[in-house]
Structure 1
């Protein structure tokens, strides 16, 4: 693929083209980025190597909930960088305890187990669920099963993609780990039908972000909580993308006043600065973990703990949750007005939206390319769906700019198609 092909019809300059060519030559092609080379960021905005500014409406898949380079987080990270960054868990450090306590209090759980990436946190939740199943529930050794939801996205390890139904993610990577059964998302009856004495957990996303901000039916989370309690099965909520204020509440499960047995957290927990993830659960669940049975060289390191602790402190004020709620209402209202004008459907939860474009009009990729030309960065998924997740530090004017740009893209294409 040539540089010209990569740049396409955009007006990328010489510097951009050189960076793109270098990346395509030496970095594995596991992504298909838009032809833009970013060099700096501040708040909800980023600037490319040519000096053009863009509104970041992806926010690192919610890892940048607090925006780029939030001064409070930068200062805390810099302070810790000058003191201590890594010890391994072979020793105690002075940052992990305060972080663990703060996160436990935020989640209302007894303990946390810190890791690094979101996929590691999901793998940790799977392992802990199985161990709980054998040691507490009494499942026959080697027989534990976990229920998952179709359309899920929990990460990229071989175990996790083994229960994905996305062929792009799974093709040529098998064989996969057994012990999982998949049911339709949001169907509590389907979950009930597969629960037997071997099932130890139900793993789900309160909102399926990668799927296009897919919302479960009203009452699903509440009904699932009741079912899991009745059947003695762990309710495991993957809040890696949906948690930490993105949906207008601290956790997406809060929208139905539901508390899962295990929270799986990541992305925004690192403040957009550093990979930080964790699971949180009560003593009867995480108490099954013993020294040597699970670990991570970097998990719970002083730098990660310092940043994660600062993030938790910010969330305790409720400021970011309220911003997501208020800005989300504005986003939902303005996006809703586009339905019927090249937009088939809109789904919004807090400051997070999935927009289904009429596939006869244009693909999601084409929409994102057109938006980029108008100074808006977004990401497509599954054909003609586009996701929007601006940082929670965005303004009302930013939200209006994003919707106006989308309106210009789809309405312009709609008018052309009718000529």
Structure 2
């Protein structure tokens, strides 16, 4: 009996390229040497390292037979000042697949090369040598489309010696798909908000996520006025709900997160006054370009639901976004449900549903459907116009600060 013919490598490479399940790819890589390069396409996509790890990492990447460098799509560096980070950064232009970079908890004093393929940048708890140093980094990323900033600051704001950078031509405003800002409430913010408030330099973004301290809202309002026509998606946190959104004529998706802790009085004020006022203002300003989807995060425990009266939601119930004449397609509610964690197979932890309770319905969902939905004028099933979507989770990203 003749041995079966081997599949041509072009065919096996094509088949493997459609596999994303990592355990399966690991098995493919162990079949034979010729399958190894194709199997790596989704095995080594993310590099995570602390500064102390970078020296040994560079030794690995510098070997002639190493091909992993070409596979990285995302790099995450933390405490980077503790290692030879500059040498690693110089390799980024050679990483053809690199699209995302996250820097965390780092004093940034680096000379960044031009990396045109990078489209996502995340900076968290970064101390820059100066604000100009921050702008210099952005100028080296001509393909940047998604920028996320959490608690960034400059040396001068802390009284440290600033790092000077060569004068360059003024950078054209960034045209981003998304801009995610979380400010820290310190002196570094003023220079950053001045940059946002200048219509000549302010980055334009289609999707804006903003967590702004209350005493900075007036400065941030200026930024909204400058970039109003480009914003189609907006996510606001807490006190930012009092911002005026009348100029955002292109807005289609609005996401609102309010964290009142477990204080009934704070949530009562929010649902009876703050939220209805914001929606009333939007209705007046967006008659020709109405919202398509409204997302509301409900971060309080399900036991707190029992303390709300129907009167709290009267203004919301009467708002045109919540009636059958609504132009909204979907109202999406994110409901916190402690312990609601789903495994890789889509199953909840054993015992999550209370014995004797409704089959496959959490206590949080049951109370939301039987109390809050009717209070707001929706049927318990959430069917109708606008359509209600309910998402339950143990917690929601960045909801609790």
Q: TM bucket by the smaller chain?
A: under 0.3
TM-score (norm 2): 0.24
Q: TM-score, normalised by structure 1?
A: 0.24
The answer to which structure, 1 or 2, has the higher relative contact order (CA under 8 A, 6+ apart) is 1
Hey, which of these two has a bigger chunk of strand by percent? 2
